[in-house]
Structure 1
């Protein structure tokens, strides 16, 4: 009887221990981009970092997304475990009922709160030929592949028009997924792509054929009304100089439904694990505290707590 009671006691203690473990585990859904994209891969890496950095205390499930607009729209039906990525400017449009959110306003948009920046969407103008770096004027007379429907395609078309190149280039009727092969085979002279750097398709292109990356002048950067970004020399094979281009900042967001402790742990773990993530994927190395200046949405109180502890300067939006 004594042995039986001891055995039952041990079982009950184990049950309490397991219950405590289960209770301590926080599950979060992270919605970012299409599977196969660099941003989806970032989500996978971030999920692994969260699990490692919290000893399994935070488990992140990755959800495929059709894009940033969908990520914001889903705020209307999601709970406190929802984290998503989008450019801060898009959140502003949602809260104002403008752009893709015209006629689709929802009170939940005002509950969106920022957590931390992630690698920016960076414009790449990639041209065939030796030379390392060049200027946008070098595109004149080339067949250029922009792709269709993406931020890079829309932005690339805008720049060609903005800088008087629209009538000087031929636009290839092909998908961006064919860009590297088409450049290598001489079917196109250049392609435009947007993604965090180093961008996988640019890495592949530079490794398989000589390429020239094109830089924007200070005046051109100002005309685009985008954020200036420098791709450091040596990022891609054959790139022996810095390349000046533009970017669209991107950040991770949640809503006021998330509790302060979870937001704090997510933010703290992200920054503490960022160096380790950069050792695996170089695009995390481009994220610095300076990117906080581009977050125009109010920060989650839990995130604010971490930034104040870490002594990281915050944008004015934190007080809203």
Structure 2
């Protein structure tokens, strides 16, 4: 089993090269997220997996990031050792010079290539058993905590509008960090959170209070314009059936500046080490070959070589 670093460290530098190694050491910089984010913890786990799976030949330095947009923007100044995480939609926007990338176009964006998917940002509408809410229609008149400024808060607000609930649900003025205590004392009926599953705050709420995580129907998923994702039954305490929800895919990318051998080694080592990562951190168990469909752009030729050898099904647009 892969031994993981302690979470929430300020920086994680994975080092070590076997003295008897016959290969040159490959150094990679992995730009992830804020140190307080689960995605930073994932980056540390990936770094450890690369070290273990390559016998120390791949050395990954994890860098803190202020967000996915910054990760994409830094492509302009980085070299071939740069790996970063972001939702594929941001890569598409950057390459098209749209939204937050308007008037910031750069030829470097066209050289971005995918390596492998990591756990998606997964929407959770978490309702206490006491609220009696089991679907979106019965949310009317209830008190819901959306949080502030996060992807989950913005997405939750969007869904309330899409599903005809705007102005019909009371929004609690409580930070997301206080969601579980607020649910326990009846201050709120539910909360919205987005992150890799199983989500720690949902685990805590399910174990201590008893909750239902709402499922979306096909029409609601289509309206959200997000990827469909199924949280398997038994993921949370008291959950006896699958939860159908939405997600924002997240992928590890690099650029064409990275050589094929490095991209191949990173991708192969990632997939071969994923089972061990999943044994230590359950969010990795939600990553499988099905998530490859969420890669909407081109895959790096080195990674493509691995996927071809391993028998992955890929679209023409990804090749």
Q: Same fold (TM over 0.5)?
A: yes
Q: Which residue of 1 aligns with 2:43?
A: 43
CA shift at 1:35, angstroms? 1.1
TM-score for the superposition, normalised by structure 2: 0.91
**4+ residue segments displaced more than 6 Å:** 17-20
Matched, 1:280 2:280: yes
- Partner in structure 2 of residue 301 of structure 1: 301
Cα 1:223–1:206 change in 2 (3 A) is same
What is the CA–CA distance in structure 2 between the aligned matches of 1:58 and 1:207, rounded to whole Å? 40
Task: Give the length in aligned residue pairs.
Answer: 303
Deviation at 1:141, TM superposition (A): 1.4
Q: 1:144 matched to which residue of 2?
A: 144
Indicate the residue corresponding to 1:156 in structure 2: 156
Alignment deviations for residues 16-60 of structure 1 (CA, whole Å, 9 cap, x no partner):
x99985971111111111112111111111111111000011111
Report which of the two structures shows the higher radius of gyration computed on alpha carbons: 1
- Are residue 192 (structure 1) and residue 192 (structure 2) matched? yes
| Equivalent residues in 2 for 1:27-176, closer than 5 Å | 27-129=27-129, 134-176=134-176
> Where does the alignment leave 5 or more consecutive residues of structure 2 unmatched?
1-16
* SS across alignment from 1:173: coil
Contact 2:123/2:192 (CA < 8 Å) preserved in 1? yes
Shift of 1:123: 0.4
The answer as to whether partners of 1:128 and 1:183 remain within 8 angstroms in 2 is yes
- Structure 1: runs of 5+ lacking an equivalent: 1-16
After superposition, give the CA deviation of every residue in 1:112-141 in whole Å (9 maximum; x if it has no partner): 010011111110000112699821123221
Asked whether 1:243 is paired with 2:243, we answer yes
Superposed CA deviations along residues 147-205 of structure 1, whole A, max 9, x for unmatched, are 11211111100000000111211111222112112111222111101111101111122
Structure 1 residues 287, 51: closer, same or farther in 2, change over 3 A?
same
Superimposed CA distance per residue, residues 257-280 of structure 1 (whole angstroms, 9 cap, x where no aligned partner):
111111000000001011111111
Give a deviation string over 1:283-310, Cα, whole Å, max 9, x none. 1111111211121111111001101111
2:141 partner SS = coil
Alignment of 1:176-215 (within 5 A): 176-215=176-215
Distance 1:19 1:279, change over 3 A: closer
SS of residue paired to 2:214: strand
TM-score by length of 1: 0.90
- Structure 1 residues 298 and 133, CA gap change in structure 2 (3 angstroms): farther
Map of 2:291 onto structure 1: 291
Offset at residue 215 of structure 1 (A):
1.0
2:309 aligned counterpart, secondary structure: helix
SS at match of 1:24: coil
Structure with greater proportional helix content: 1
- Cα distance in 1 for residues equivalent to 2:19 and 2:128: 60
Cα RMSD over matched residues? 1.9
| In 2, Cα distance between equivalents of 1:168 and 1:261 | 55
Q: CA separation in 2, counterparts of 1:131 and 1:144?
A: 11
Distance 1:53 1:132 in 2: 48
Q: Which residue of 2 aligns with 1:262?
A: 262
SS of the residue aligned with 1:234? coil
C-alpha deviation, 1:317, in angstroms? 2.5
Residues 110 and 160 of structure 1: CA distance in aligned 2, closer, same or farther (over 3 Å): same
